[in-house]
């Protein structure tokens, strides 16, 4: 299981969230006496690894298994299933129980839904005639702290569910997650939302407060001053661009899952070829915390400086007599050697990807698309990718970026590229293209593009970024994409500094409605009233701490965007800390992948 990140430096007490989830799980296990087998839905395993250590499960007389199509092999007479409420998983559980019955095995079965049970799932058990054998319950794991400033609601398909399938159930889940946070940290007085899904979540959140009120006198004054809800549809340009921060690139090429990457051991210097090793990546690693948000161009320099410094210290230790105090300092530095070695190996491996002409060429064409410099060059580049049969996910990612920034493609070009894609990659991709069209990510042009106006007004592309030192004392969030400032983070920047009213005309050009509200029963001083459209920014909380803003991305967020938010929070004149909530961590590849349809 993954290394559990330290939450000691979190702006609010996220440790209490983890402890509550831990307690809820062990209450379930304690209520089932004797030796038991815990069968976990594979997709939940990473989330649970951030809540509970495997060693703790052994203390509770628990055998751990992962749900698969194979029968559960165990001597235990009690089997506990911990699963998401998905129909295919209900079929798998039913099959396993029927297999046990056919073998004459007598066991007790428990099914706990994460985070809540659904009637449609229980109907499957009734149809399969095993419902009477089950004890059914819920494990309310709504929020998982991925790090000290990042919370995940673990909803992999939230964007597709809502924008393609019209399924709004994930929006209830998001609102419930925030409502549960409020039960610990107080009702958030200021709410701002942009996008269809965001406005719906804000509405559900208000209804929850009416139906299941959180009494301010019970939890004290609110610890979170402002909630900003951003629907991913508002900015689909950013995830389609290649991230250029260290952590962003790790995710692009190695896929960061639940605060770690799994890679070949040989990359980390081990001799076992083919064996995988899991490398933890969270703020518990002090060096990673220092370099994760830097532009990758600078990471090598930082690591080189640290290695050189240690080498010089070692040389001095070898040639001079040291005091005990100096020895202690040197030993303390030595403790960081494994971290330095780890990140030198990872950075070296990443550079094998980032130095390829194909990657550099892609960056150049992305920049051309974002700047809107040459429609014909971009069209021909994508056409050539299709004819060379580059991986279809690479083609679709660039095609979506091209389509969004042009408000779709002229009918002739749309039809041509769609036809070429199906001829090159097979007609089984027709459903995927239909999904992208439903989500308005690849479509026919139906109006003049607003992208140039949005780009210019919000200063999304800066011309004076030093290509060789993009992170050398950066002064703007655009460093995370070497010149492109994420649209989503520009909106947050305006929201916390001067309110959204000054950019209302631009908000109307972006997808979906927007709203702002001050929730009843709470007053704020003029200095904290950013929502009223004043030009003053958020002020310090009553006890002297910085104000806290929760930014929730509905549909997912990239690591580069989180880096930009951390950069914003650290700037002079920004008197607030920012916590990120997200339905999932994503990049352009994983987002496009969620639209794929398996027709097999």
Q: In what order do the strands lie in the sheet with 547-554?
A: 144-147, 150-152, 576-582, 547-554, 226-231, 190-194, 514-518
pLDDT level of residue 337 (50, 70, 90 thresholds): confident
Among 143, 137, 155, 199, which residue's Cα sits nearest to residue 43?
Answer: 155
Instruction: Give me 472's structure tokens.
Output: 């050398």
Cβ–Cβ < 8 Å for 496, 192: no
Cβ–Cβ < 8 Å for 281, 247: yes
Instruction: Give me 493's structure tokens.
Output: 């920047």
H or E element, residue 263? strand 260-264
Q: How many CB atoms lie within 10 A of CB 339?
A: 16
Q: Tell me the DSSP string of 171-224.
A: HHHHHHHHHHHHHHH---SEEEEESHHHHHHHHHHHHHHHHSPPPHHHH-S-S-
Q: State percent of the chain over pLDDT 70.
A: 88
User: Any idea which of 50-54, 69-73, 298-302, 388-392 has the lowest mean pLDDT?
Assistant: 50-54
Find all residues with CB under 8 Å of 86, minimum gap 6, and list them: 121
CA distance linking residue 465 with residue 482, whole number of Å = 7
Was domain 357-448 assigned CATH 1.25.40.850?
A: yes
pLDDT tens profile 79-136: 999 999 999 999 999 999 999 999 999 999 999 999 999 899 999 999 999 999 999 9
pLDDT tens profile 391-401: 999 999 999 99
Compute the average pLDDT of residues 196-216.
94
Find all residues with CB under 8 Å of 115, minimum gap 6, and list them: 138, 139, 140, 141, 142, 173, 176
pLDDT tens profile 251-289: 999 999 999 999 999 888 876 777 889 999 999 999 999
CA distance linking residue 220 with residue 192, whole number of Å = 22
If you classify domain 146-235+473-591 with CATH, what class do you get? Answer: alpha beta
CA distance linking residue 316 with residue 91, whole number of Å = 66
* DSSP classification of residue 293: T
Q: Where in the chain is the domain with CATH 3.40.50.2060?
A: 14-140
- Report helix, strand or coil for 575: coil
Q: Is the pLDDT of residue 411 over 80?
A: yes
Compute the average pLDDT of residues 550-557.
98
Count Cα atoms within 13 angstroms, Cβ side, for 280.
Answer: 19
Cβ–Cβ < 8 Å for 317, 493: no
CATH code matching the domain that covers 14-140, chosen among 3.40.50.2060, 3.40.50.300, 3.40.630.40, 1.10.760.10: 3.40.50.2060
Q: Tell me the DSSP string of 138-158.
A: E-----EEEETTEEE---TTH
Compute the average pLDDT of residues 59-73.
92
CA distance linking residue 217 with residue 458, whole number of Å = 41
Compute the average pLDDT of residues 160-188.
94
pLDDT tens profile 348-357: 999 999 999 9
User: Any idea which of 203-212, 271-280, 518-527, 567-576 has the lowest mean pLDDT?
Assistant: 518-527
Compute the average pLDDT of residues 174-187.
95
The dihedral region occupied by 274, where left means phi > 0, alpha psi between -120 and 50, and beta the remainder, is left
Q: Where in the chain is the domain with CATH 3.90.830.10?
A: 246-354
H or E element, residue 95? helix 87-102
CA distance linking residue 97 with residue 83, whole number of Å = 15
Q: Is the pLDDT of residue 40 over 70?
A: yes
User: What is the topology classification, in CATH, of domain 246-354?
Assistant: Syntaxin Binding Protein 1; Chain A, domain 2 (3.90.830)
CA distance linking residue 198 with residue 367, whole number of Å = 29
Q: Where in the chain is the domain with CATH 1.25.40.850?
A: 357-448
CA distance linking residue 152 with residue 143, whole number of Å = 6
H or E element, residue 564? helix 559-570
Predicted confidence at residue 537, as pLDDT, reads 43
CA distance linking residue 346 with residue 340, whole number of Å = 10
pLDDT level of residue 527 (50, 70, 90 thresholds): very low
Predicted confidence at residue 205, as pLDDT, reads 96
pLDDT tens profile 470-522: 445 678 999 999 899 999 999 999 999 888 999 999 999 999 999 999 986 44
């Amino acid at each position: 299981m993954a290394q559990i990140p330290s939450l000691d430096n979190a702006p609010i007490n996220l440790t209490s969230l983890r402890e509550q989830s831990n307690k809820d799980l062990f209450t379930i296990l304690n209520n089932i006496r004797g030796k038991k087998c815990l069968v976990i839905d594979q997709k939940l395993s990473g989330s649970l690894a951030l809540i509970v250590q495997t060693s703790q499960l052994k203390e509770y007389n628990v055998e751990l298994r992962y749900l698969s199509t194979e029968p559960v092999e165990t001597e235990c007479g009690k089997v506990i299933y911990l699963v998401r409420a998905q129909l295919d998983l209900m079929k798998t559980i039913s099959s396993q129980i029927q297999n046990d019955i056919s073998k004459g095995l007598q066991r007790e079965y428990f099914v706990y839904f994460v985070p809540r049970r659904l009637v449609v799932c229980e109907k499957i058990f009734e149809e399969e005639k095993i419902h009477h054998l089950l004890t059914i319950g819920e494990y309310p794991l709504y929020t998982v702290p991925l790090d000290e400033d990042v919370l995940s609601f673990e909803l992999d398909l939230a964007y597709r569910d809502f924008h393609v399938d019209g399924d709004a159930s994930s929006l209830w889940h998001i609102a419930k997650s925030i409502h549960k946070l409020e039960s610990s940290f107080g009702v958030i007085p200021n709410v701002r939302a942009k996008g269809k899904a965001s406005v719906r979540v804000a509405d559900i959140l208000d209804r929850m407060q009416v139906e299941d009120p959180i009494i301010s006198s019970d939890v004290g004054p609110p610890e979170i001053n402002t909630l900003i809800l951003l629907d991913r549809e508002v900015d689909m340009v950013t995830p389609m661009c290649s991230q250029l921060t260290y952590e962003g690139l790790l995710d692009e090429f190695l896929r960061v899952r639940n605060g770690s990457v799994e890679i070949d051991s040989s990359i980390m210097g081990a001799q076992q070829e083919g064996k995988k090793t899991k490398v933890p990546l969270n703020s518990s690693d002090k060096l990673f915390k220092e370099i994760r948000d830097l532009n990758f161009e600078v990471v090598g320099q930082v690591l080189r400086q640290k290695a050189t410094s240690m080498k010089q210290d070692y040389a001095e230790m070898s040639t001079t007599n040291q005091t005990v105090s100096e020895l202690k300092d040197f030993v303390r530095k030595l403790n960081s050697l494994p971290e330095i070695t780890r990140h030198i190996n990872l950075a070296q491996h990443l550079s094998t990807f980032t130095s390829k002409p194909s990657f550099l060429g892609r960056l150049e064409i992305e920049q051309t698309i974002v700047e809107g410099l040459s429609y014909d060059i971009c069209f021909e580049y994508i056409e050539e990718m299709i004819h060379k049969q580059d991986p279809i996910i690479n083609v679709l990612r660039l095609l979506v970026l091209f389509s969004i920034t042009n408000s779709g493609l002229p009918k002739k070009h749309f039809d041509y590229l769609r036809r070429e894609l199906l001829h090159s990659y097979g007609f089984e991709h027709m459903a995927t293209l239909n999904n992208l069209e439903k989500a308005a990510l690849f479509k026919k042009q139906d109006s003049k593009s607003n992208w140039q106006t949005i780009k210019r007004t919000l200063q999304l592309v800066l011309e004076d970024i030093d290509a060789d030192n993009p992170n050398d004392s950066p002064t703007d969030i655009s460093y995370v994409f070497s010149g492109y400032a994420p649209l989503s983070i520009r909106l947050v920047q305006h929201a916390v500094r001067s309110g959204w009213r000054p950019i209302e005309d631009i908000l109307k050009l972006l997808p979906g409605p927007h709203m702002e509200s001050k929730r009843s029963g709470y007053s704020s001083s003029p200095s904290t009233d950013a929502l009223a459209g004043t030009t003053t920014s958020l002020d310090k909380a009553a006890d002297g701490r910085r104000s806290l803003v929760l930014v929730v991305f509905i549909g997912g967020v990239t690591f580069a965007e989180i880096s930009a938010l951390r950069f914003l929070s650290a700037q002079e004149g920004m008197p607030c800390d920012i916590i990120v909530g997200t339905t999932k961590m994503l990049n352009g590849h994983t987002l496009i992948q969620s639209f794929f349809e398996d027709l097999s």
